[in-house]
Structure formats: C-alpha cells, structure tokens
Amino acid sequence: MLKLENVQSGYGNKLAIKEVSLEINEGEIITLIGANGAGKSTTLMTICGVVACRAGSVKFQEREIHKMAPDEIVKLGICQVPEGRHIFPQLTVKENLDMGAFLRNDTEEIKKDRDYVYSLFPILAERRHQDGGNLSGGEQQMLAMSRALMARPKLLLLDEPSMGLAPLVIKQIFEIIKQINKESNTTIFLVEQNANQALHIADRGYVMETGRITLSGPAQELLANTDIQKAYLGI
Amino acid sequence: MDYFIELFFSGLTRGSIYALIALGYTMVYGIIGLINFAHGEIYMIGAFTAFIVATVLSIYGFPLFSIVIIAGLAAVVWSSSYGYTIEKIAYKPLRHAPRLSPLISAIGMSIFLQNYVLLAQTSDFLPFPTLIPDWEFMEPIAHIVGTTDLAILVTTVMVMVLLTVVIKFTKIGKAMRATAQDRMMATLVGINVNNVISATFIVGSALAAIGGLLIASHIGQINFYIGFIAGIKAFTAAVLGGIGSIPGAVLGSFVLGLTESFATGYVSSDYEDVFAFSLLVLILIFKPSGLLGKATNQKV
C-alpha cells in the first residue's frame, strides 16, 4: 500500500533521514521504533509531504506521492496524528472533529462518523462543546485520533500516541488502535518510543537509528531479539 | 451634552475607519505572524481607485448611488488584487526566512507603493467628490451626527457582521481560524495553507479599501501619504486590542477613536496623538498582550 524507497529528507542543510526503505501492506499495523532523534517523526512528515523528500520515492497505492502537496496527500487517504497532538486550542471538540473532515462534503456521513468516534471515546461526546485547549493530555490524544478518523483515512499515521500519558490511558489508546484497525480496516503506521507496547499490537516492525532502518521483521521476532531487548525494551 | 454626543459620534466614526484597516493587520498577523506595513498603502490605493472611478463616472453623469456602488466595488477589487500580489511577491518567498526579513520587505513594499502612487498620480491633495449627500431626515440632528458619519457607522457595522458570518460559518473562515491556531496541523487535515493566506490578504485588503472609500468621501481630499498615518493609527488600534484577535482589533479601534475624539474636543487637537499613544503605552504596560489578546503559552 505504502512503499518508501531510499528516501532522504531533512531540515535546512541537515539530513534527518539518510536512507529509509519500508513497505506497508493493506490492513497491517506496522510500527517504527527508535530512540529520540532517530528520524521517526521526520519519516512521517516526509510521507505527508510536509517535509520535502530529497531523494528516493514514496509510493501510495502504486502512485508516486513524494512531489504532491500535503493537502493532496490527505485527499488520497493518508492522515497523520502528529507528535504532541496539535489540537486546535480555541476550537471546540466538535469543531476540531469537523476540521478533520475538512475535505469531505457528505454532511450525513460526517455526522455518522462523528457518532462513531463518540462511541469509541464517550468522554469526547461529554466535552463536545469545550475548547480543545482545555482538555487533559489523554483526552487530547483521543481527540487527535478521532479527528484523523473523521477523514476516513486508508492509512493512519500515529506519532507517539502514548507520549506523556498515564499507563492506564496508554493501555486504552492501544486497545482503540487495534479496534480501529479491525473495525474499519484502516492500515496503521505507528511510530513509538514505547517499543514494548507497540510491538505487542503490531504485525511487523522497523527499527530506526540515526536516519536509517537497521532492522526489520515480524513483531514477535523483534520482541525476542536480544539486541532490541537491551536497547529498547529495557530487559 | 450635545457637544459630548457629537464628540462621541465623531469618535465612533474614526473608530470605524480604524477598525476596517486594523482588521487587515490583525488577520494577517494571526495567520502568518507578520506586521504587514504595506497595509496602509492598500487603503490609500483603495481611496485612489474610488476617486478615479467616481470622477470618471460623474463626468458621464451616472446617478450618485450607482457611483458609490461601482466606485466601492472597483476599490475593493483593485485593492484586493494588490494585497494578493504583494503577498506573493514580497512575503511568500520569505516564509521560512527569519521573522525580520518579511518585516523589512513589508516596509520596503510600503515605501515603494507610496512613491509609485506619487509618480503615477500626483503629490497634491486631490478633492474627493461628495459621494454621500446630506439626507433630509438627518436635518434635525445634523449638528450632532453628519450623514457621512452615519453612513460610515452603518457600513462598518454591516461589514463586521458579514465578516463574522464568514469567519464563523464558511469553510474558508474555518480554515482561517484553524490555520491561525496551528498552521502545521491545518496542513495535515488537508487545508491548502497558501490559499488561506491569499484569502486573508484579499479579505483584509477589501476591508481597507472600503475604509479608504468611506474616509475619503468624509474628509473630502486624498493624497499618496494618507495610508501611512492611517496605517500607523490602525496598527496602534490592533496592538491596543491585542494583535491577532479580531474582536480585539474592533474594540481597540473604537477605544482609540473615542480617546482621540474626546482629547481633541476637550483638550486640544494638538494633543490628539499624544493621548492616543499614551493610551497605547499605558495598556502595554499593564496588559502587554492588549485588551483582548491572549498571553501565548504552549501546551506540550
């Protein structure tokens, strides 16, 4: 579904991604793990067209997308929940959700999808008229994911959904990620520092170090790999 | 008491004009964080366009009402195309440059436009035709509120209502709010940020052009320099109300207009600017983010 081949990108004259190749098939949950500054977020931003791809190619459903504008990429069905959630602080919860459906015009279906995300996260329904900026961290993460779902993505990119959240909330978020993957057959690309949790729900995983993919394989294999256990799982 | 009311209405009139210009400053600042110093010139160009069109039409003997409409539309379209073009030429290439660069570019654009109008038109004051005749039903209160004052107030209120509707309920308005709050996220939900920025410049310029038409027909003369002073005042009003905040710009403009009007009426017109800028200094000391501005803090 999504294929990155020898992708290079970065900011200014610094390359954050030196060489990344990876492939995601439809219906999978794929995780990308790695330390701070490895280039994980930049990889997502490059897929979304926010950071320019300097070499290599990004293909989505057999189409080259690395020269397309970010809004065109969203139209194709790739949505990202960025690190730090980026809720619109002065829009209400409902307005935030509607922004997720910005490119859609089917009012009735949008309403259905809104009810669906309210059923996933009942707390959002309760707070629908509150400003997004007043929600707690966990609620903001739920809102950010719901907002992305409102676009009916084919591929959902999640950047550190567990960051700064309480363990119980993290567990809930990961449950929902699995549920989204199953119920609406959304392919998920999950970037995480919380390698243990991520590998437990993923089908396959990639490990990234200083701008390169250094290891990849089925999630169970990675969990059993002693190097990974030492470096990322703290075992 | 009549004198007080007279000053009050003249303050509201000033405030209306400031508000029409200040909205352009505050909207552009809200979206791209730039003080568009060329915005005053957009207003001046609006006044000149209205002047030229109105003069030509009155030679051909058009009825007054249609002159106002056509001149107003011409000013709006012409100013908007200037606003749009300025952004593309002077600011867009500098979007990722340090903040100071587009600011200097804006000052350059302002100087350029002033001199361009100076060369293309004239350095003299031009008599602006009377577009709004004194209405008869205004006669009993004409010594307190002039017809043009009332016309300016009514037009401004209508424009504000329209702007509020656009920003609250239309798709482009929502895109503007989202972009102002978080540009990166706006991109990620599929908003074309370049279009939003262009739209903001177009709307801001259109408002300034309406202001230009109204004030020119109120004062009765224009020259190439009017944009500078009006621009500085409107910018002050925008900062007073909290730059980036739309209700703030309107409130700041009326506060500034009323302050100037009362200072002129009760003290001396020589002190008009002294009071205006003292007010600015005071507010910035006690509430640095302006009357309705929000202190910026980022939640991580």
CA-nearest residue to A86 within chain B is B185
**Total number of domains constituting chain B:** 1
Q: What is the rounded CA–CA span in Å between residue B152 and residue B113?
A: 26
User: Which residue range(s) make up the domain with B97?
Assistant: 7-132+139-224
Q: What does the pLDDT look like over B151-185, one tens digit per residue? A: 899 999 999 999 999 999 999 999 999 999 999 99
Query: Which residues of chain B neighbour A74 with C-beta distances below 8 Å?
Result: 188-190
DSSP B271: G
Q: Does B246 touch chain A (CB under 8 A)?
A: no
Q: What's residue B295's pLDDT?
A: 63
Q: Would you give the DSSP letter of residue A52?
A: -
Tokens of A7: 């992708």
Would you state the pLDDT for residue B250?
95
Residue B253: the pLDDT is 96
Q: Is B33 exposed, middle or buried (0-12, 13-18, 19+ CB in 10 A)?
A: middle
Describe the strand order of the beta sheet including A212-218 as a list of residue ranges: A63-64, A53-60, A2-11, A14-24, A212-218, A204-209, A29-34, A187-192, A155-159, A78-81
Q: Are A82 and B192 inside 8 Å of each other by CB? A: no
CB pairs under 8 A between A and B: 64
Q: Is residue B217 part of a domain?
A: yes
Residue B239 lies in a domain: no
Q: Which structure tokens are listed for B136?
A: 């008869």
B125 located within any domain: yes
Report the pLDDT value the prediction gives residue A29, as an integer from 0 to 100. Answer: 96
pLDDT digits (tens, 9 = 90+) for B56-80: 998 998 888 899 999 999 999 999 9
* Max avg pLDDT among A11-15, A88-92, B271-275: A88-92
List CB contacts (< 8 A) between B184 and chain A. Answer: 50, 82, 86
Please answer yes or no on whether B191 and A86 come within 8 Å at the CB atom: no
pLDDT tier, B134 (very low <50, low <70, confident <90, very high otherwise): confident
Give me the percent of chain A exceeding a pLDDT of 90: 86
The whole-angstrom separation of Cα B222 and Cα B57 is: 18
Torsion of CA B51, B53, B59, B61, to 10 degrees: -120
Chain B segment 188-207 residues within 8 A of A by beta carbon are: 188-192
A37's torsion region: left (phi>0), alpha (psi -120 to 50) or beta?
left
pLDDT value at A229 more than 90: no
Q: What is the pTM of this model?
A: 0.90
Q: Do B184 and A82 touch (CB under 8 A)?
A: yes
Summarised one tens digit per residue, pLDDT across range A126-169 is 999 999 999 999 999 999 999 999 999 999 999 999 998 999 99
Q: What is the pLDDT of residue B156?
A: 93
Among B174, B178, B299, the residue with its CB nearest the CB of A133 is B299
- Give CA separation, B51 vs A172, B33, B78, B149, in Å: 65, 32, 12, 19
Instruction: Check whether B277 has a pLDDT greater than 70.
Output: yes
B200 contacts B27 by C-beta, under 8 angstroms: yes
* A75/B190 Cα distance (integer angstroms): 7
Q: Is B98 on the interface with A (CB under 8 A)?
A: no
Angstrom distances, CA of residue B6 to CA of B142, B167, B170, B256:
10, 33, 38, 16
- pLDDT reading at A92 higher than 50: yes
Q: Do A71 and B191 touch (CB under 8 A)?
A: yes
- Segment B115-134 shows an average pLDDT of 86
Residue B229 lies in a domain: no
Q: Which of B177, B181, B189, B300 has the most A C-beta neighbours within 10 Å, making it the best mutation to test the interface with A?
A: B189
- Closest Cβ–Cβ partner in A80, A91, A103 for B181: A91
Element (H, E) at A125: helix A122-126
In a domain, B300, yes or no: no
B12-33 tens-digit pLDDT:
999 999 999 999 999 999 999 9
B150 part of a folded domain? yes
Q: Domains in chain A, ordered, with CATH?
A: 2-233 (3.40.50.300)
Least confident range of A41-45, A115-119, B216-220 = B216-220
Among A99, A110, A141, A147, the strongest candidate for a mutation testing the B interface, having the largest count of B CBs within 10 A, is: A99
Average pLDDT, chain B: 90
**Six-digit token string for A174:** 């990961």
The values of phi and psi at residue A216, to 5°, are -155, 160
pLDDT > 60? residue A66 = yes
pLDDT band at B202, cuts 50/70/90?
very high
- Residue A192: strand pairing partners: A33
pLDDT of residue B296: 59
Segment A165-216, tens digit of pLDDT: 999 999 999 999 999 999 888 999 999 988 888 999 999 999 999 999 999 9
pLDDT of residue B270: 86
Q: How confident is the model at residue B298 (pLDDT cuts 50, 70, 90)?
A: very low
Maximum Cα–Cα distance across chain A: 51
In a domain, B277, yes or no: no
pLDDT band at B299 (very low <50, low <70, confident <90, very high): very low
Q: Where are the beta strands (DSSP E) in chain A?
A: 2-11, 14-24, 29-34, 53-60, 63-64, 78-81, 155-159, 187-192, 204-209, 212-218
Query: Which of these, B12, B47, B29, B31, lies nearest to B126 by C-alpha position?
Result: B47
Note the residue count of chain A.
Answer: 235
Distance (Å, whole) CA B26 – CA B36:
9
Token code pair at residue B202 = 């177009």
Question: According to the model, what pLDDT value does residue B217 have?
Answer: 86
Give domain status of residue B195, yes or no. yes
Mean pLDDT of B95-102: 90
Output B295 or B297, whichever has higher pLDDT.
Answer: B295
Judge: A103–B185 Cβ closer than 8 Å, yes or no. Answer: no
pLDDT greater than 80 at residue B189: yes
Contact between A70 and B300 using a beta-carbon 8 Å cutoff: no
Query: Which chain A residues are within 8 Å of B189, Cβ to Cβ?
Result: 74, 79, 99-100, 102-103, 147, 151
Q: Does the beta-carbon distance from A99 to B188 stay under 8 Å?
A: no
Note the pLDDT of residue B199.
Answer: 96
Task: Please report the pLDDT score of residue A26 as a whole number.
Answer: 94
Closest-CA distance of chain A to residue B232, Å: 29
